[in-house]
Structure 1
């Protein structure tokens, strides 16, 4: 059984570790300079952000999600726990809070594209750049029901 709870300050270092490992496993399209710059930005807010974390039996975070209203701002799973249902559990948790959930994902992240399609998300639009204006196209998604 996957347990989900609100994050605490003590999760900050572990959340950053999950972010680094997940990005390195799935975002091979990032240039080294952009990867470094994005980590600087993320490390400034993520450890203290109000996250939902999926935890293991020792209360150690294995994945996290950031919600902003009805928009999922981030979902990252430790690569050692991919395929275990933890990402699905976090998305279902978000849907229980926000049934009209939206999210954005990097178009080049083929693994995420497939995951969100299986979770019932459909494209609603596309941007040529990411939220910081970098040349990484985003797909805008809305959940219409799990497939």
Structure 2
């Protein structure tokens, strides 16, 4: 049973570890240098961010998302439980609160692109670089709620 709850200060290390494992499982297109730089940014930011965390019955994080206004900045799932519906549960939670939810997805992350399309998102545009100007094209998406 997966429960959604707000993040806590004590979740920091577990969430950074989850993020690292999720990125290593899904973002093989990142250069080693960019992966290291992004890791440093995330490790400094994530433990203090206001997140929605999916936890198991032992209160251990299985996934999380970051919403800013009606834009989902991040959705990451523990690779050990990918495909079990946790991403869907988090996304449905967000869409219930923000029917016109927007997000960006790396164009090279084909599994994530397919997931968002199956969840009712449509493309609204593209960027040749990510939000930090790195050479990782983004697809901009909006939920058709």
Instruction: Normalising by structure 1, report the TM-score.
Output: 0.97
Quick check: 1:23 aligned with 2:19? no
The 4+ residue runs of structure 1 with deviation greater than 4 A are: none
Structure 1: runs of 5 or more not aligned: none
Instruction: Name the CA distance, whole Å, in 1 between partners of 2:82 and 2:107.
Output: 20
Q: CA RMSD in A?
A: 0.7
Instruction: Name the CA distance, whole Å, in 2 between partners of 1:99 and 1:3.
Output: 21
Instruction: Normalising by structure 2, report the TM-score.
Output: 0.98
Query: 1:2 deviation in Å?
Result: 2.3
Per the alignment, in what secondary structure is the counterpart of residue 130 of structure 2? coil
Aligned equivalent of 2:120: 120
Matched pairs, number: 145
User: After superposition, where does 1:1-147 map in structure 2 within 5 Å?
Assistant: 1-145=1-145
Instruction: Name the CA distance, whole Å, in 2 between partners of 1:37 and 1:26.
Output: 17
Per the alignment, in what secondary structure is the counterpart of residue 36 of structure 2? helix
Superimposed CA distance per residue, residues 30-76 of structure 1 (whole angstroms, 9 cap, x where no aligned partner): 00000000001111111110000000010111100000000000000
Instruction: Name the CA distance, whole Å, in 1 between partners of 2:139 and 2:84.
Output: 25
